Structure 1
Amino acid sequence: MPHNSKSVCIIDDDNMYVNLVSKIIELKKLSEKVIVFNNGKEALNFFIKSTQDKEAEEDIVPQVIFLDLNMPIMDGWEFLEEFTKIRDEISKKIDLYVVSSSIDTRDIDRAKSIKVVSDYLTKPIKLDDFEKIFI
């Protein structure tokens, strides 16, 4: 049985994908809470705010982030650039997975070369990928 994360964050503007991933997490009891942002800017603002409230950080910062690359307002690449700047201010361990439909090796290599990225997953995420993440 996979371990249960207190919270998971999905940063993606595709509502069907978000609903599917949320439902899998709920049915498999992988997390108590799913936090959703439709673009990188909303998510970045959330993480910046969490760095300003150290007491609440443990409760509000998710252990796992699923980040899409192609979104309006602030895409995944821009989010990663800004998140990297504030990551050290967050004491909690976070596993960040870039999740994209792109199979371009340049995107995969670029994402994996970023320090805060745990891995690159191709959409749709397979059930065994979830199991590896939450073990």
Structure 2
Amino acid sequence: MNGKTIWVIDDDPIYQIIMKKIILKSGIFSSNFSFSNGKEAIDSLKKIIDKNEKFPDIILLDIEMPILDGWGFMEEITVLKPQINAEIKIYICSSSIAIEDKERAKNNKGILGYMCKPVTLDDLIKITSF
């Protein structure tokens, strides 16, 4: 473990459990957190800013979620960006095969990649090697 933190933002509790197991198996991260929607994650980012704590290194972000979806999360984090003193690598992890979603992710500077669910151990290793 090297002190990296990963967040999984996804409303599917089964998927969160699967990802937690894959994350633990990878041995790459010292901590991981799950959020059921983008608003919970944004609220947590605001607390980190206020308390000057450690930001996540990687965020795995679902698109379709209640309350605040993945695209809404990206809009909110863009507003917070000036207050974030770290590089956060954001990857879309979605079961959506819509070409529009893939294009939207590709055209968003804040998103480093688009992965189809389920994310595998190899996927996780690959994104952490950059």
TM-score (normalizing by structure 2): 0.92
Alignment-derived partner of residue 126 in structure 1: 120
Match for residue 98 of structure 2 among 104, 118, 126 = 104
Conservation of the 8 A alpha-carbon contact between 2:90 and 2:113: yes
Contact 1:4 1:134 in 2 (8 A): no
Using the alignment, how far apart are the partners of 2:89 and 2:26 within structure 1? Answer: 19
Unaligned runs of 5+ in 2: none
Match in the other structure for 1:45: 43
Q: Does 2:57 align with 1:88?
A: no
Between stretches 123-132 and 76-85, larger displacement belongs to: 123-132
Counterpart-to-counterpart distance in 1, 2:103 and 2:2: 30
Query: 1:115 aligned to 2:109?
Result: yes
C-alpha deviation, 1:5, in angstroms: 4.7
Letter in 1 for 2:117: K
Number of aligned residue pairs: give it: 129
TM-score, L = length of structure 1: 0.88
Take 1:76 and 1:62, find their aligned partners in 2: how far apart are those partners? 16
RMSD: 1.4
Alignment partner, residue 6 of structure 1:
4
